Structure 1
Amino acid sequence: MSDVSADTVASALEALRAQVPLVQSLTNIVSANFLTNVLLAAGASNAHIDNVHEAAGFAAIAGGVLVNLGTPDDATAAAFRVAAEAAQSAGTPWVLDPVGVGGLPWRSEIAVDLLQFHPTAIRGNASEIIALAGLGGDTRGVDSASDSIDAVPAALALLKYTDAVSASGPVDYVVGRDRDGVVVGVKISGGSALLPRVTSTGCSLGGLVAAYLAVAQTPLEGLVAAHTHVAVASEIAEANSTGPGSFAVAYLDALYAVDADTVRARARVESFELPAGVQN
């Protein structure tokens, strides 16, 4: 069982605020502005460097890198590849967010190609994780048609390419190796039903994962910390909003206001039992 807990997340949040990691985001045109605001509110910073001439050089000096497949074209696809390769070579943690994979063949090919550069973490909805692992699944654009618990076998299969994987949904499921190298599962409950009513909340989570990977003890802990920060902040935001518009503003405020004590009081982080036969 995992020893990742609310205290682990609280420590990661304190490290994030102390270090203010710089994230390089190669993300889609829909999410760039909101993602930047999310990172600034949470305690990190962002540089949207997604051209092929600068992507590799910046990936080598960034604290963390996000590669988000939301709106790829030939130029950004080339930048994804050089950034991922440079991040791997430099030891920069990087996140693969396989938006729309499974439903769209070209971007699915891009995602599979990027796996050779060993993303530090993979973050997606359940359908994207299932599709990326080659287990099928019904992906509707960027929406998930699968429950997050259903993606756990696929997430475990992807550990051959990465250190930690998360499948988001009403409950978020994360698998990865703990500090002793043992494969464990962690689930994060809570959050808000208004999150999917505001564009780019999922994509900005990918950016937040990249920020936490820069400061956390393990990729597993970074993934759990990012998901927990979002879950706690979105619950607070929902209580202070009347709909998606006010929620978007309240969410940024809540990301900023959440501190270590808030995490310890409100986070719902617990281990879950992995399927039999998982190899460590």
Structure 2
Amino acid sequence: MEPAQDFIVTTAPIPPTVDDLAAALDALRARVPLVQSLTNVVSANFLTNVLLAAGASNAHIDNVHEAAGFARIAGGVLINLGTPDDGTAAAFTLAAEAARDAGTPWVLDPVGVGGLPWRTGLAADLLPFRPTAIRGNASEVIALAGLGGDTRGVDSSDDPAAAVPAALALLAHADAVSASGPVDHLVGRDAAGATTGLRIGGGSALLPRVTSTGCALGALAAAYLAVAPTALIGLAAAHAHVAVAAEIADGNATGPGSFAVAFLDALYSVNADVLRVRARVEPLDIPAQA
């Protein structure tokens, strides 16, 4: 009789489904997580309104005396590098360290990284505190991963698909990474730890015509991370919620001003059933070596 042989059973990665994202939206509305936002001066007001409309709340606490303490008790934390100075930079480090130690999920939004050396170094210094998710445009994601990238302020010159290798590299530092654009590209891990990803379409051409929509997406991701079972589900739920709301708002707007108001209304009106019907979510092919 031949000796028994050992067999290794492997399973394919399981990307999040629309039902997973809809369940996260239901959880968001049920739990109303409190986000601590350390964000730029341009985005604070609009970001707060986005969180309130979507079903969460915001505390804008970015001083060195309170940043760490609040990060320990918040549902999620956003660190946004839009307008850093020496004081907020120190608060970023304190909040990131406290969030890591307390197990509070936190999002790094590397605004302008790659084009501005000081903040690029600041972002690199925050990576060892292991952000739960990284959300940026394609150029920022590429630059943060050290693969180049050409940023112009907060604008992106790269296609999100081109940022996928960089996003995969950043999974050494984070649990999920997204590159925003006409079609958002997200990578992360499923419940079993396998690398997987999504493409999320929809949105509106008016989104980049309204200030702080990207910053608000980062804050909404922090809110979803507080309630979602995995970082990728939380990040993807935020992207899908924004994309569906923006698409709805686009149909009710005549320009950027009316779009901003319609966008807030749509964030409020989108529920799990609407997300299931309208979200444009499909699996992202991940290279085998990832």
Structure 1 length-normalised TM: 0.99
| 1:6 positional shift | 1.1
CA distance in 1, matches of 2:124, 2:15: 32
Residue from 29, 37, 49 that aligns with 2:61: 49
Q: Distance in 2 between matches of 1:148 and 1:65?
A: 24
Identity of aligned residues (%): 76
Matched, 1:88 2:137: no
1:9 equivalent in structure 2: 21
Q: Specify which of 125, 132, 137 is matched with residue 137 of structure 2.
A: 125
Cα distance in structure 2, aligned partners of 1:2 and 1:188: 16
1:206 to 207, 218, 225: 218
What does residue 263 of structure 1 align with? 275
User: Post-superposition shift, 1:2?
Assistant: 3.2
In structure 2, how many angstroms separate the alpha carbons of the residues matched to 1:112 and 1:264? 37
Q: Deviations over 1:231-276 (max 9, x none)?
A: 0000000001100000000000000000011001101111011123
Deviation per CA, 1:101-148: give whole Å up to 9, x if none: 000000001000000100000000000000000000110110000000
2:6 aligned partner: none
Contact 2:106 2:133 in 1 (8 A): yes
**What is residue 233 of structure 2 aligned with on the other side?**
221
Q: Is the 8 A contact 2:22 2:275 kept in 1?
A: yes
Runs of 4+ residues over 2 Å off in structure 1: none
- 1:110-259 superposed matches below 5 A: 110-259=122-271
Give per-residue Cα distances to partners, 1:137-195, cap 9 Å, x unaligned: 11011000000000000000000001000000000000000011100011101110100
Cα deviations across residues 50-96 of structure 1 (Å, max 9, x unaligned)? 00000000000000000000000000000000000000000000000
Deviation track 1:19-69 (CA, whole Å, cap 9, x = no partner) reads: 000000000000000000000000000000000000000000000000000
Instruction: Give me the whole-angstrom Cα distance separating, in 1, the residues matched to 2:285 and 2:77.
Output: 30
Once the two structures are TM-superposed, the CA of residue 5 in structure 1 deviates from its matched residue by 1.4
- Is the Cα–Cα contact under 8 Å of residues 4 and 270 in structure 1 kept in the other structure? no
Given that 2:15 and 2:196 are in contact with CA atoms closer than 8 Å, whether structure 1 keeps it comes out as no
In structure 1, the partner of 2:112 is: 100
Aligned residues: 278
CA distance, structure 1, for counterparts of residue 239 and residue 96 of structure 2: 23
Tell me which amino acid in the other structure corresponds to 2:267: L
Tell me, what secondary structure is at the counterpart of 1:160? coil
Counterpart of 2:85, as a letter, is: D
Indicate conservation of the 8 Å contact 1:93/1:210, yes or no: yes
1:99 match: secondary structure: coil
Aligned partners of 2:15, 2:48: CA distance in 1, in Å? Answer: 31
Unaligned runs of 5+ in 2: 1-12
User: 2:68 touches 2:97 (CA, 8 Å); kept in 1?
Assistant: yes
Paired position in structure 1 for 2:10: none
In 1: Cα distance, 2:200 partner to 2:166 partner: 18
Q: Does the 8 Å contact 1:171/1:187 carry over to 2?
A: yes
Counterpart of 1:19 (choices 12, 31, 34) is: 31
- TM-score using structure 2 length: 0.95
> 1:277: how far off?
1.2
